[in-house]
Amino acid sequence: MKSTTKPLLDAWQWQMRASCRGLDSAVFFTPHGERGRARKRREEAARAICRSCPVSTACGSFATASGQYYGVWGGRTEAERRVERGVPRPR
């Protein structure tokens, strides 16, 4: 019987080509208490990295499929993914 599962390495291979590989994850995830302009600047810095990334589509798809609630993935912020999922903004 032939297996229909893919080797785990194949499923994650896109990460090897990610522009963010080896960078400080603090660029992509909100530190406690970050708000306003500081948050916008950090998110824009993350999005700039994602714009030049050859695997941003795969990254964004992974974030959506796995329900990543935090961070910038594939150039999309937490708020943007929340809207895509139809989840109301937290108060």
Helices 56-66 & 36-51 angle (0-180, nearest 10): 120
Report whether 50 contacts 74 (CB < 8 A): yes
CA dihedral for 45, 51, 55, 59, sign (positive or negative): positive
Binding residues for [4Fe-4S] cluster: 20, 50, 53, 59
| Cα Rg of the chain (Å, integer) | 15
Token pair 């109301």: residue: 88
